[in-house]
Amino acid sequence: MPDVIDHRPNRQPPSQPKRDPAPSRLQYRLERMWLRPIWRRAVRVGVPAFLAAMTAGLWLSDPDRRALLTDGVQQIMTKVQSREEFQVRIMTVEGASPVVDKALRAMLPVDLPASSFDIDLTALRLQVMQLDVIESIDLRIKPGGILSAVVKEREPAILWRHARGIEILDKTGHRVASVTARDVRPDLPLIAGEGADLAVPEALALIDAAGPILPRVRGLVRRGERRWDLVLDHGQRIMLPAQGALIAMEAAIALDRAQDMLGRDIAVVDLRNPSRPVMRLGIDARNTIRQARGEPILGPDGKVIQEDDRKGG
């Protein structure tokens, strides 16, 4: 049987349109933005933080809620600060004189026992350091509720007499205290004059160099805020130079040992020019010379006493 040939045209089913794998423009831009760390951080952290802040702001917008929250926080803080382990019960002071000890205890901002949170150690330290007698202080709260204060007081080294009174200074020239009279501390050497407090180390070195004649030393006087005069008993004075005062002092001591210079009737030893020392005789020595020359004698003020004045006296 012959094959039957179908001459009808082939009819294929309509093909489906192919789906484009490329993302849309909006999706592409969103994906590009998501690749940036700043956007990922903003979405993961910024958005939750913003929502939390907005919620908290809305909740705190009510005055009653704010007052309730404040009271609650304050009660918690008070309860924590009032715990036994935070209580300071006693204060110990080491290295202080009785007067300073009493002053330190009076500076405490609260009465003991008190919470350690009520004691500002930094502010207390600054307040204590305003006392001239205090050189340093170590403040700390130790276990057991002890407020420890270790004090180092300034050591009095010299007295400074000036127009406003007499003050005790330490070896650096820092003020320690005031005194009403020289007799309060007779054990300390005396300096006088404006600006003498700025040269205390030099003054102490000069006094130390004057060891052999120290019992006769009455003090040092600052002249012109640049040099010293060493004042001795019997009105004697050694005028020292502005530069090399210590060397000049040692030279004067050596000369006194060799020739008993200061044991004679000499009023002033002028060493301001070390290469040309000058000595000024006392009134008695000068009158002896004047009498030998047949000249009128001098009075205590250094003026010539006329013959009429002596007869009238």
DSSP 33-59: HHTSHHHHHIIIIIHHHHHHHHHHHHH
Question: Average of pLDDT values for 11-34?
Answer: 69
Which has more confidence, 104 or 77?
A: 104
Contact 158, 204 (CB under 8 A): yes
Euclidean distance between CA atoms 165 and 19, whole angstroms: 105
pLDDT given at position 1: 47
CB atoms within 10 A of CB 292: 8
Q: Is the pTM of this model over 0.75?
A: no
Q: What is the pLDDT of residues 34-52, one digit of tens each?
A: 778 887 787 788 888 888 8
CA Rg value for the chain: 46
Instruction: Determine which helix (DSSP H) or strand (DSSP E) holds 220, and give its type and residue range.
Output: strand 217-223
Mean pLDDT over 283-292 rounds to 64
- Residue 184 has, within 13 A of its CA and on its CB side, a CA count of 15
Reported as a single tens digit per residue, the pLDDT across 235-270 is 899 999 999 999 999 999 998 888 888 888 888 999
